[in-house]
Every structure is written in C-alpha cells, then in structure tokens.
Structure 1
Amino acid sequence: MTTPDATSLLSFATAGSVDDGKSTLVGRLLCDTRSVHTDQLADIERASRDRDGTEPDLALFSDGLRAEREQGITIDVAYRYFSTPRRRFVLADTPGHVQYTRNMVTGISHADLVVILADARNGVVEQTLRHVAISALLRVPQLVLAVNKMDLVDWDEQTFAGIARNFTEHAAILGAREVTAIPISALTGDNVVSPSSRMTWYRGPSLLSHLQTTPARPDLSKGPTRFPVQYVLRSGTTTCPQRGYAGRIASGRFRVGEAVTVLPSGQCTTIDAIDVLGRPVDIARAPQSVTLRLAGQLDVPRGDLIASGHDVPRTTREVRATVCHLHDHPLRSGDRLLLKHGSRTVRALVTEIIDRLDIATLEQRTGSGELRANDIGTVHLRTSEPLALDAYAHSPHTGSFVLIEPVRGDTYSAGLCWRQLKISAQRSRGILPGLGNRLTASP
C-alpha cells in the first residue's frame, strides 16, 4: 500500500449517537491541525462565554445553525475542508439524532471512510448499529470506531476492548469489510491528532495519522463504463443535423471508435468524437464532464444511458432493492411514486414491502407491510418504463435511485439495487440482501 501524498483527497464523515462528541471531535481536528482562522476562534470563544463556558466549546465549529447551538445537537450535515502537509480532507459532520438519520445518509453517500463514535460510558447503542448498517449498505470501504470520552472511564483498556469487540462483531454481521478501533478523548485531544500519553497500552495510530495513510476509494475510471445523458446538443443544418450528448461520465472511460450500447433502447453504435470543454480528445474518463458524438442518426433522449458494448447492464421494469426510508409518511405497498435513476425519472408502483431490518436484533422482520422513517428494508417495485440497472456493488451511480412523492416532490426513500442472490445458509441470521460477504450473487 502506497502512502498518500499531499495532493491526495480523502472524503470522510463522522457519525454516532446524540452526545457522543462528533462535533467536538471535528472542532478538535480543526484546531489541532491549525485549520481555524483567528477570527473564527475569537467568535467561538465569544459564543462559549455567552453560554457560561470558561473554555471554548469546540462543537461550535461545526454546529453553525442557531437551532443547533440552542439545543446542543447537530441537525444538518456540516462540511469542513482542511489539510495537513500530508493530505487534503473533506469532512462531513452528520447528525446523530434518529430523527435526522436521512441527513446522515446524505453525508456519507460519497465518503471514502466513516468515523463512527461511541461514548465509552454507553458503548454500542441502537443508533450506532443503524449507522453501521447504512455505511455497509452504501459500501463505504472503511469504518473507524472512535471510542470517545475515555477520560470519563479513567482511560480503561478493558472498557475500550469490550466496546471494540462488540462493535466489530456487529459490523461483520452487517457486512462491513474493514474496521479500525481507536480510543480517544475529543475534549482533551488524546489520540485525535497526537498519541496519548495516558493510554500507553494502545499502540495503534492516532485518528489523524490513520486518516492520513488510509487509501481513498478506487478510481472511478476503472469501473464499468457508464454515461447518463443529461442534455442533448443539436447543431449542423436541417438536411444534415448533428447531435452531441452532454453529461458526466459516472464510471469507466470512453474512447473514440469504441463500440457502445444505448439503453434502454439497446441501439448499438460507435463513438465518433469526444469533446471536453469544447476541445476534441481521443479518450475521456470518470468523473469528467464531456460531450459524446455517436455514429448514425439515433434517437437518444435525456435520461438514456450509454454503456460500453462489452459490459451492458440489463434493462428491467421489475426492481428489487434495499431502501432506507427517509420520509415521515410511511412507505406502503400500493404507493405510486416517481423513481429517479441517474438523469431518468419514471413512474413506479410499490408492489411489495418484503421485509424490514430490526436494528436491535439484526433480524429481518416480514409482514409489516410498511417502512417508517429511518427503517431499512427490502422492497419490490414495478416501473412504467424499463431502466438500465446495475448492482450497487458493481456500479454505485447506476445501482442507486431515489423514490419521490409525485405531488409535493418530497424525497421518500434512497434505494440500492442488487442482482438476484443465492442466499447462503446464514441468511436465516437476518442479513439484508447486498450487505456484503454473507450473500453471494447467483451465476
């Protein structure tokens, strides 16, 4: 494994239950890496004095909304950008309250790594497991368990070891592939940026050291070749019209002369030209925004998908997927919604709520008939038009979608597609489809 250089970027998110110290940890990282301007620090010190605090409240660096400061909780996702001599970072501080789990889903959807905090006094709680389940569903490559507030348990090694063991066991069941546990105190700074002198029994890296050396997600250009058409550009003359298809390459790479397939129509053609910022190029790769020009006069509207002729996703109107329900109104069988997949939006009918994950027991519950806010479950949908769907593990962009209420335009659920699965014997333990190493795809 190569060490990332100063130009590399890591996107990571923090998650955890209420009062586990996420915002304080963010403030500690920003302060100890000297990523805070003098006027920002003065503002925080003034706000802390107004709240009868003698020391600067580090949580205020990310809790910027008035309601957040009044209630002492994170409500919206707070993005912070900082860097060290070794790396650049984009940090998403996500809310911990179960009511705002939908915001947490947004925050970690593009994360290379998620730091999940646990209060050393409380250990692994239900909301901790919910965050692990969502991280596993979204295929976040790495999880970091930060056991916070070690100062309140006298820096006890056995307390940390018990929480780390419990968390790792649950994470493995939910499909998390790589977990690193680090004992910290965000308030005092122990093991956040610098190693702790009060936990000499811990010989691993500090949190920042781990963030500086962990690899980012695989290069998008090495995935399957996928290009959702966002806009059709017309030029030329009436007798000789020309069309260009503008958008952003979701994954893979395109070459001039390459054979491609347009979906869902299934039309086969080749690439005549590729334009990047108005200049012709021979090759383009994700995540570049480009204009593709295809051979022949084809009907390719917005919402179609252009894929490599060697790796074509299957088109279908029957969608079986795992969803995280985000709306206060339950998702029920018979609901008629809109399904947005890439740049394509179609009507969809919820034909069945297959099961729901019980976060407390990690078992799948059948027969509920609905999913309530923050529930995770498996559903079956029927769409009005065929969609070109990948398995989420194969291509996250073309393997995900959102369900939208058609009248008000509210986002109902975030969904992840998965191929037909051959369930292992451990299916009876209640693992959701698509969560990882306990399920295998059928040939």
Structure 2
Amino acid sequence: MALEVYGSSDLIERDIEAYLEQHENKSLLRFITCGSVDDGKSTLIGRLLYDSKMIFEDQLAKLTADSKTVGTQGGALDFALLVDGLAAEREQGITIDVAYRFFATDKRKFIVADTPGHEQYTRNMVTGASTADLAVILIDARKGVLTQTRRHSYLAHLLGIRHLVLAINKMDLVGYDRAVFDRIVLEYRSFATEIGVTRFKAIPISGLGGDNIGSRSENTPWYEGPSLVEHLETVEVDAAARQAGPLRMPVQWVNRPDLDFRGFAGLVSAGSVKPGDAVRVVPSGKTSSVARIVTAGGDLDEAVAGQSVTLTLADEIDCSRGDVIVSADSPLEVADQFEATVVWMSDVKMLPGRPYWLKLGTTTVSATITEPKYEVNVNTLEKLAAKTLDLNAIGVVNIALGKPIPFAPYAESRELGGFILIDRMTNATVGAGLIHFALRRSQNIHWQTADVTREAHAAQKAQQAKLLWFTGLSGAGKSTIANLVEKKLFALGKHTFLLDGDNVRHGLNKDLGFTEADRVENIRRVGEVAKLMTDAGLVVLTAFISPFRAERQMVRAMLPEGDFIEVFVDTPLAEAEKRDVKGLYKKARAGQLSNFTGIDSPYEAPENAEIRIDTTQMTPEAAADAIVERLLAQID
C-alpha cells in the first residue's frame, strides 16, 4: 500500500502513526543516482517520489506551477524541480549539492541521494556514495557512455558499492530503439570489466514518461527484465553479511551520567554482541566481558550491526572515544602507516608532507601524505606519475599517522577502513580515503627508549632546550638577526646551533626545489632535525622563509608545549624587495624565477607569533638584544 496523498491541512496524527507502523519493519535500501550532467538523475528521483505518492497536495500544486514558469518540459510536470532545490541548480539546470529523499513501496523503504553530475562536484558524489548500498548509473541514450559515467562508475566501485544499475534514460528520444540500448550496454560492459565490475543490471527507462520505472513499459516489448522499482525492491543488501562477522563497535563517547554507571556508547558497525560475550578494547588490548547492553528503551539481549547502544563491561578497564570494542578472539590490526587510495576534494591541491587531520570512525589523528605513488586516469585507467593531487584527482599514496590506530581494510569494513582528511587551519574536509593495508614498516619499526632523556641533556648544559623559529619574507633579515642572536647566546655560554635555509639546501635538502610541495618537505625535514637537536638539550635557531602556517604549526606540534618560539621578522614586501641583497626579487619580477614567495607564491604571515620584529623600526642589533633578553628569561 503506497502512502495516500493528503492536503497539508488534512494530515492527522492517526494517519501518520498508521503509516509509520506499517513501514517500521521494512528493510531499508540506500542508493544514489549518478552519471553525467543532464542525464536525468533529478527527473528520475522526482518520478519515483511522484509514483510512490510521497508528495503532498501543496507540493504537487507548487510543482505544477513551477513547471509552467521555470520548468524545461514545455509546461508538463518537470519532476527534477522536486529535487533541484537550490536556486543556482535551477538556473543552471544541474545538481550541485547532494539531495537526500525518502520514499517507500509496499516491500521496502528507500533513501536516495541525488548526486551532482558535473566534474567540479565529484566530491559531492563521493559523499553520497559513502553510505550507499546501490548506485543507479544514468546514461542519456542519445549520448552514450561519457567521462563522468566512467568516473562515477569507478568511484562507486572503489567505494565498495557492489550493486550497480545501468539506467539508460531518455529512451523515448531514440524511439525506444533496442539497438541503441544494446550498443550502450556493450560499451559500458567493456569499461566495467576493466575496473573490476563483474555484474550490473541494465534497464531501459524514460524518467519523464515513466517507462520501466514503477512497472514494465509497453514501449519496450523487447525488454524482459524487471522495472527499476522491482529491482530496487528485491536486490539483496549486505546487512546480513555485516551482522554475521565478528563484533566491531567504535566508541563514540563514554556514557557516565553518575558515579554508579559507566558505559561505552557507539554504533555496532559489524557483528553482534550479547551480555557475557568476551570482548577486547583496541588499541590497548585490554579484555573484559559485556555486562549489559543499554538503550533508551531498556536493556537488550542482543545488539546487531546497525544498532546504536551503550555497552557496560564487567571490569574497569581503560576505554575512551576512538577506541574500538571487538570480539576478544578476533582483534583488529593496529598501525600508523598505510597504503591508501585518496580522492582529493579541495580546490587547494594536496601537498606531500603537509600535516592534515585524519578522521577514521570516531578517531582523529595527525597525518601526513607522501608523494603519490600514482594518479589514476579514470578514462583510460592509466597509472600516471604525480607530485601532488588536484581537485577530483584519485591517487594511491602512503600515509603516516601521529599514533597507531585500529583499522580494517576498506574492502572489509567501510566504517574502519574509510577516512576523511581535514585541513588543520580551516577545518575543511579536503579528501576522502580508503585504506588498502598497513605498511610493513609500521609493524617492524618500534620506538627505542633512551636512558638519557631530553631533560637530562638540557640539565647537563644548565639550560632549557628551545627552538627559535625565524620566519619572514626573503630579504627580511632573518639570517642576519638569527646569526647575531646565536653569537650573543654563545658568548653567554649557551649551547646553540643555527640551521639556515640556504645552508641546508647544500646537503640535507639538496634534492628539493621551490614548488609548494618541495617547500613543505623542506620544512618537514628541518623540523625533524631541529626536534632531534632540542632532544639533545640545545637551543636551536632556524632561519627559513617557511611561508605556510600549516608547516610552522606542524613543527610546533613536534615539540613540548612552550618550546617552540615563533619569531616573525616582519618586513613589508616593498622594503624586502628594495633591499634585494641576492637579486632574487629582480629575477622573479623578470620571470626568471618561479614560485618566489611574495611574487607568485604566497606568504602566510604568523597570526600569533611569540616575538614580532619590525625591521623598519629596529636595527638587527637591537632586534637581537630584544630576542636574547626574552629568551634568557625562559631558558636559565
């Protein structure tokens, strides 16, 4: 029984309750519609909503009116308007955002995501596909297989969607010609085989006319398969398989309403659990057994994948957000380095060595990405050499984390193998990734504890270890001032070492150029060396342009709080260019020197530097005296 259409004023509570009770125990299928621009994704969803009577009378009236004024079907109902809610989408005739819609039939409930077709919004398609069980790949029968058809098919398969429907749309515009349908299916099958798709369901449809949407169409007597809705109602989802595996429950938060209750809340992502079951908390490895399964509606005798519960344990063991509760006899792997596929979703390109936040399940850790092993060309499936990843690029990389985390390969678990990357400065999501496996080095390399500690090294030198990080434009005076500071400290008997930007490029960083990616790696290496030197108890001074805040913050995070002192040598660009001691600005202005900071590469000035030196107001000697005075108060 489909939902009846009511006027908004006639909806009464009894009808809603009856409808909800009717649909409560139906299975749920999440699916996406994807494909190229104007292949008819929004029209198809609008048709599904209309045919399943999931729109109210007032919505229908508005759709009728809008179809006459802004519709594209000559006054006939333009079903895409039910989904394309953003004004920009209606003006351009494309979907920009991911639109989620709910509908139901007599047999099943559905949540459908209408994802963008334009290449610029591939990242939105990834968002919709990340939780889907099935993908409907639409193809305009007049155009055939296009670049975005291949891209979205590749991404859907990459993201673990194993049920694909090839909906060849607008068959009415090609006279319902079977030869057109067969030709497109053959072309798509050739590509699908290359990316590892072994099966898909091809259906000829017309979203506008309703052919083969809710029921078989008389216009395609040569097609003997199910309608789209019939297929969606009967396709088997993977819920049973997830429930059959070992227990996996990432801890969302520690539920402690009072001193007498301590439970661990989260979504059971795989397996099942009963009171008395032996469990293990990873990464710590501590074991216990389940005492209770608590929900708002009362305790349960069993919880299965897909349920959100609170588990209480028989023993008081350490467990917190980001940990995973698993079956005691089936623990997860724990590692801090992985090979992964990354889909880059930011206009700002990925830079190897730059620190990002990685969020996997309920865990958030610091992460850096190496230079991509290769980038995938989704049209040819070629593996291309790449130094970085641009918007919508797909690449295979190695990722190093700030600490080991529990995980599963994405092929085994979306929840424990899929992650997002977050820009540390803006908190914007910049990438989505899928873990392949842990690198062997993460298992073979262990931290060796030294008996002589950082504090012991510093105490022997009668000082506190510090890192003075001089940053500023080329020609600002960083090296001059840093050299004077070291001379004054050395004269006072302090143990110091100066790392200068030009000097390290003669040896340690001689293989690096001046691209943004190389600049990031330059600072990462210097930061690691400076950290080792402070571990030896030294006062370390560095003089580098270090133009990006993210890398300066990365080095700050390597050291104990308070040991990183940022010294901003603040010199206006005009003044630095006027000095031009090395003639670099002149070359950059003449186009002979690319990626030069301040000219064709940005400099991100510190926002909260511990020390700021205005070189238009102070001489280098006075600046050095001021810095030494500030420093001695902290290290003596």
Give the TM-score normalised by structure 1.
0.89
Question: How large is the Cα RMSD of the aligned pairs?
Answer: 2.1
Task: Name 1:132's counterpart in structure 2.
Answer: 153
Which structure has the greater CA radius of gyration? 2
Matched, 1:38 2:57: yes
Task: Structure 1: give runs of 5+ residues left out of the alignment.
Answer: 422-443
Task: Name 2:256's counterpart in structure 1.
Answer: 234
Task: Name 2:245's counterpart in structure 1.
Answer: 223
Q: Which amino acid aligns with 2:57?
A: T
Matches within 5 A, 1:334-353: 334-353=353-372
Matches within 5 A, 1:1-400: 7-51=26-70, 53-219=74-240, 220-234=242-256, 243-277=262-296, 279-366=298-385, 368-400=386-418
Q: Distance in 2 between matches of 1:183 and 1:400?
A: 34
* Offset at residue 35 of structure 1 (A): 2.5
Q: Which amino acid aligns with 1:130?
A: R
Q: Distance in 1 between matches of 2:85 and 2:343?
A: 27
SS at match of 1:90: strand
Q: Distance in 2 between matches of 1:41 and 1:168?
A: 39
Residues 133 and 224 of structure 1, relative CA distance in 2, 3 Å threshold = farther
Residues 7 and 279 of structure 1, relative CA distance in 2, 3 Å threshold = closer
SS at match of 1:371: coil
- Contact 1:222–1:252 (Cα < 8 Å) also in 2: yes
Q: Distance in 2 between matches of 1:317 and 1:244?
A: 28
Q: Distance in 2 between matches of 1:190 and 1:274?
A: 48
User: Relative to structure 2, which stretch is displaced further, 151-160 or 57-66?
Assistant: 151-160
Q: Distance in 1 between matches of 2:102 and 2:257?
A: 41
- Contact 1:349–1:383 (Cα < 8 Å) also in 2: yes
Task: Structure 2: give runs of 5+ residues left out of the alignment.
Answer: 1-22, 440-636
More strand by share: 1
- Contact 2:337–2:438 (Cα < 8 Å) also in 1: no
Alpha-carbon displacement from aligned partner over 1:184-208 (angstroms, at most 9, x marks no partner): 1212222222322222221112212
SS at match of 1:121: coil
* Offset at residue 297 of structure 1 (A): 2.7
Residues 35 and 236 of structure 1, relative CA distance in 2, 3 Å threshold = closer
* Offset at residue 97 of structure 1 (A): 0.7
Task: Name 1:405's counterpart in structure 2.
Answer: 423
Residues 338 and 120 of structure 1, relative CA distance in 2, 3 Å threshold = same
User: Relative to structure 2, which stretch is displaced further, 274-283 or 343-352?
Assistant: 274-283
Q: Which amino acid aligns with 1:46?
A: A
SS at match of 2:222: coil
- Contact 1:355–1:378 (Cα < 8 Å) also in 2: yes
Alpha-carbon displacement from aligned partner over 1:136-161 (angstroms, at most 9, x marks no partner): 01111210001111122222211111
Alpha-carbon displacement from aligned partner over 1:91-145 (angstroms, at most 9, x marks no partner): 1111111111111111122212111001111111111111111110111121000
* Offset at residue 344 of structure 1 (A): 1.0
Residues 414 and 117 of structure 1, relative CA distance in 2, 3 Å threshold = same
- Contact 2:338–2:437 (Cα < 8 Å) also in 1: no
Q: Distance in 2 between matches of 1:192 and 1:140?
A: 22
Alpha-carbon displacement from aligned partner over 1:264-284 (angstroms, at most 9, x marks no partner): 122222223322227333432
Q: Which amino acid aligns with 1:257?
A: G
Q: Distance in 2 between matches of 1:394 and 1:269?
A: 25
Residues 6 and 264 of structure 1, relative CA distance in 2, 3 Å threshold = closer
User: Relative to structure 2, which stretch is displaced further, 264-273 or 311-320?
Assistant: 264-273
SS at match of 2:184: helix
Alpha-carbon displacement from aligned partner over 1:322-360 (angstroms, at most 9, x marks no partner): 121111111121121001111111101112311111011
Alpha-carbon displacement from aligned partner over 1:382-432 (angstroms, at most 9, x marks no partner): 1011011101121211111111101110101111112379xxxxxxxxxxx
Q: Distance in 2 between matches of 1:139 and 1:224?
A: 19
Q: Which amino acid aligns with 1:155?
A: Y
